[in-house]
């Protein structure tokens, strides 16, 4: 199989279902399931494809991605406000919640604008903001700013890389089997990164009583 064909298939997939993929990828990226869905990578790909593609313009990509991320922030806030510390205890995320609470108490809700880069805390910062009952409208202001900043950054990285789109296709088609080797390496690296995130998530779980030393 020609790797250029793969690139073209991905392009067609994004042209047909791009906005749905972008919305869901951005939304899930903010949740505790972020380790399993590369929301940032999806935005970079979307930005890359949007360069010169009239069916997937860059501005709508940013808007849809921002809506997905903002909705995740909002749902986390409302869930925290409604359930208190229930989800924290259910997922054994006391450590992440404690860190998020410290961030909010020291920096206020403005920390939301920078917490987007921290995979394991951004959901909990929003969740704890709900538990602590931060002002809803103020929270939304910071959440929208954080969402727009992160989505724009990821999308524009891909967009500017898209200026080399034709050169990339030419290089990939010329190196043949080496392209597949590089692709396999990239998949392996991504798999290891996901596995590392999951291990970090599991490490936050408390040990069962039966495993404690006597």
Q: What is the pLDDT along the chain (214 residues), one digit of tens a residue?
A: 455 566 677 778 887 888 999 999 999 988 888 777 788 889 988 988 888 777 789 999 999 999 999 999 999 999 999 998 888 888 888 888 888 888 777 776 666 666 665 666 788 888 999 998 988 998 898 889 889 988 998 899 888 887 766 555 555 555 455 555 655 665 566 556 555 555 555 555 444 444 444 3
* Domain encompassing residue 11: 3-206
Q: Is the dihedral of CA 73, 78, 83, 85 positive or negative?
A: positive
With tokens 């690296």, the residue in question is 189
Contact status, residue 3 vs residue 172, Cβ threshold 8 Å: yes
pLDDT for 211 = 43
Q: In this structure, is residue 13 part of a structural domain?
A: yes
Which of 43, 5, 51 is closest to 26 using CA atoms? 43
- For the record, the structure tokens of 153 come out as 């950054």
211 found inside a domain: no
The answer as to whether 184 is a domain residue is yes
Residue 214 belongs to some domain of the structure: no
Q: Are 74 and 112 in contact (CB under 8 A)?
A: no
Please name which of 141, 94, 106, 103 lies closest in space to residue 122, comparing C-alpha atoms: 103
Residue 21, domain member (yes or no): yes
Token duo for residue 79? 């869930």
Q: Are 12 and 103 in contact (CB under 8 A)?
A: no
Residue 73 placed within a domain: yes
Q: Is residue 112 part of a domain?
A: yes
What's the total number of domains in the chain? 1
90-117 burial code (b ≥16 CB/10 A, e <16): eeebeebbebbbebbeeeebebbbbbbe
Q: Is residue 213 part of a domain?
A: no
Global confidence as pTM: 0.72
C-alpha separations of 174 from 2, 167, 179 in Å: 10, 11, 9
């Amino acid at each position: 199989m020609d790797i250029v064909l793969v690139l073209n298939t991905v392009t067609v997939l994004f042209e047909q279902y791009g906005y749905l993929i972008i919305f869901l990828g951005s939304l899930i990226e903010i949740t505790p399931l972020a380790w399993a869905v590369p929301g940032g990578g999806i935005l970079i790909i979307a930005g890359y494809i949007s360069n010169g593609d009239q069916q997937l313009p860059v501005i709508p990509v940013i808007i849809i991605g921002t809506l997905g991320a903002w909705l995740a922030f909002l749902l986390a806030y409302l869930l925290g406000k409604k359930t208190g510390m229930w989800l924290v205890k259910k997922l054994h995320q006391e450590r992440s919640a404690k860190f998020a609470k410290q961030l909010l108490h020291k920096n206020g809700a403005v920390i939301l604008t920078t917490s987007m880069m921290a995979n394991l805390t951004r959901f909990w910062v929003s969740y704890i903001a709900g538990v602590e009952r931060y002002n809803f409208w103020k929270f939304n202001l910071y959440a929208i700013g954080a969402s727009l900043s992160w989505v724009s950054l990821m999308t524009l990285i891909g967009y500017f890389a898209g200026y080399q789109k034709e050169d990339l296709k030419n290089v990939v088609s010329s190196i043949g089997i080496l392209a597949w080797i590089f692709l396999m390496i990239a998949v392996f690296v991504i798999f290891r990164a996901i596995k590392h995130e999951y291990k970090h998530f599991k490490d936050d779980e408390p040990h069962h009583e039966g495993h404690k030393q006597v």
